[in-house]
Amino acid sequence: MNQEKISERLTPGHYFTLALFVSLYMLNAGDRMILSVLLQPVKMEFALSDTQLGLLTGLAFAICNCIAAVPLGVAADRVNRSILIAVCLGFWSAMTLVQSYATSFVQLVIARMGVGIGEAGAPPAAMSLISDRFPASRRATALSIAFLGAPLGSMCALAAGGWIAQHYGWRVALQACAVPGFFVSLLLLLFLKDPARRKSPSAAAPGENSSLSETVRLLWSQPALRHILFGLILAGFALSGEATWSASFFIRTHHLTLAQVGSSLALIGVVAGVGGTMVGGALTDRLSRRDPRWATGTIALASFCAAPLIVCYLLATDLVTAFCFFALYNFCANMWLGPSYSAAHSLVPAHMRGKMTAILYAVAGLFGYGLGSQGIGLLSDLLAPHMANPLRYSLLMLGLVWLGSAINFALAARTLVREREQLHQRFGSIGPAPIASVH
C-alpha cells in the first residue's frame, strides 16, 4: 500500500512537464481561435459571407486536421513524441504567420489548412505522453491541467488579438500570435523527455503491435467508446460553434468594439473556462474513486447544464445579464475536456493510445469543430433574409446539441466498468486507469 502511494506522488519533473503542456495547449487554442475575434475586420476587407467565414474558421481547418491526425497519431505510437510535438508546433506557428500575409480569401484558406495539419500531431502525442508520465489516480487531473492551456490561450488570443487588431490591424494580431510558438517549440526540443511507454506485462499480449484497423475495430466494438466518440463530436460541435461566433455575436448584438469584446470575453474565459476545466478533472478523479461510472457521468452532468445556460445568455437583453450567463455556460462547457479523453484511455491498451486518441481527435475535430463553425455560419446566412439578428437564432440550436452530448456521455457510463474489465481480461494490464476498480 505504501509503495503504491509513493508511486502516485508528483515530482517537480511532473509539474515542469505540465507547464510545458499548458504552454503547448495555450498556443494550440490561441492559433486556432485567434480568427474568431478577427472575423469582422476580415469579413469587411475581403467582403465575405458568414458561410465563407465558417469555412475559414471551421471546415477548411478541420478537414486537413482530420486527414493529418491519423498518420500523425500512428507516428505518436512509434516515434519520439517530444520531437513530434515540437515539430508540429513549429509548423502550425509558421502557418499562422503566413496567414497574416494573405492577399485573398483563397490564400487565407490555404494557410489555415496548414495550421490544421500542424495542430493535428500535437494532441495525440501529448495525451499519450501524459498517460505514460503520470500515475493512474492523477491522470484525469493531469490532462485537465494540460487542457488549462486551451481557455488561457483563447483568453490571450481574444484580449491581445482584439486590442492589437483595433490599433494595428488584424494582420499584426496574427503575427503576434504566431511568434511565441517558435520559442516554445525550442523549449520542447530541449527539455521535454519522452517517457517509457507502459506495456502489457506479457510479451505475447494480443494486439501488442496493433494496426490502425484493429484499433478502429476495438473502438467500434465497445459501446462506451462509441458513446464517448459521439459525445465528443456533439460537445466539440457546440463548443466550437459558440466559441467561433461569440465575439461576432456580442459585436453585432450588443455593439461592442473589437477591444471591448476581446478583453471582456478574455476575462470571462480565464475565470470560467479555467475554473470549469480544473473542476471537471478534479471532480471526476474524486467521484470516480467511489463509483467508476462518474468517469463520464460528470461530463454528462456538465453538458446537460450547458444547454439551458447557452440559451439564457443568447436571449439576454442587457449586456450584464448576458455576460453572467456566458460565464456560467463557459464553466460547464469546459468541464469535459480532460475527463473525456482520460475515460477513453482507460478503455484501450497502452500501445493503442496514440492511435485511439488520433481517431477520436480526427473524427470529433471534423464533425465537431469543423461542422460547428461552418454550420452556424451557413444557418446564419439562410436565416438572414427572414429575421433580424440571424446569428443569435443560429447559436440557439446549440442547446439541443449539448443535450445530445449529455445523453451520450450518460450512456457511456452505463457500460464503462464492464468493458474495462473485459479489456483487462483480454490484454492483461492495459496501463493506468483514471477510474477506480470495482469492489
Q: What is the pLDDT of residues 315-348, one digit of tens each?
A: 999 999 999 999 999 999 988 877 887 788 778 8
Nearest to 57, CA basis, from 21, 99, 89, 27: 99
- Work out the pLDDT band at 199, boundaries 50, 70, 90: low
pLDDT at position 1 = 41
Residue 133 near residue 110 (C-beta atoms within 8 A):
no
pLDDT at position 195 = 76
- Work out the pLDDT band at 117, boundaries 50, 70, 90: very high
Rg (CA), the chain: 21
Given CA atoms 204, 79, 6, 283 in this order, what sign does their dihedral have? Answer: negative
pLDDT at position 311 = 96
Q: What phi, psi does 236 have (nearest 5°)?
A: -65, -40
Q: What phi, psi does 431 have (nearest 5°)?
A: 95, 180
The answer, as to whether pTM is greater than 0.75, is: no
Q: Over the chain, what is the mean pLDDT?
A: 84
- Work out the pLDDT band at 288, boundaries 50, 70, 90: confident
Which residue type is seen at 180? P
Report d(CA 97, CA 112) in Å as an integer.
10
3-state secondary structure the chain: CHHHHHHCCCCHHHHHHHHHHHHHHHHHHHHHHHHHHHHHHHHHHHCCCHHHHHHHHHHHHHHHHHHHHHHHHHHHCCCCHHHHHHHHHHHHHHHHHHHCCCCCHHHHHHHHHHHHHHHHHHHHHHHHHHHHHCCHHHHHHHHHHHHCHHHHHHHHHHHHHHHHHHHHCHHHHHHHHHHHHHHHHHHHHHHCCCCCCCCCCCCCCCCCCCCHHHHHHHHHHCHHHHHHHHHHHHHHHHHHHHHHHHHHHHHHHHCCCHHHHHHHHHHHHHHHHHHHHHHHHHHHHHHHHHCCCHHHHHHHHHHHHHHHHHHHHHHCCCHHHHHHHHHHHHHHHCCCHHHHHHHHHCCCCHHHHHHHHHHHHHHHHHHHHHHHHHHHHHHHHHHCCCCCCHHHHHHHCHHHHHHHHHHHHHHHHHHHHHHHHHHHHHHCCCCCCCCCCCC
- Please name each of the domains of the chain with its CATH number: 18-194+210-427 (1.20.1250.20)
Question: Which range has the top average pLDDT, 195-209, 257-271, 358-372, 386-400?
Answer: 386-400
Average pLDDT rounded to a whole number, residues 201-224: 65
Report d(CA 248, CA 381) in Å as an integer.
14
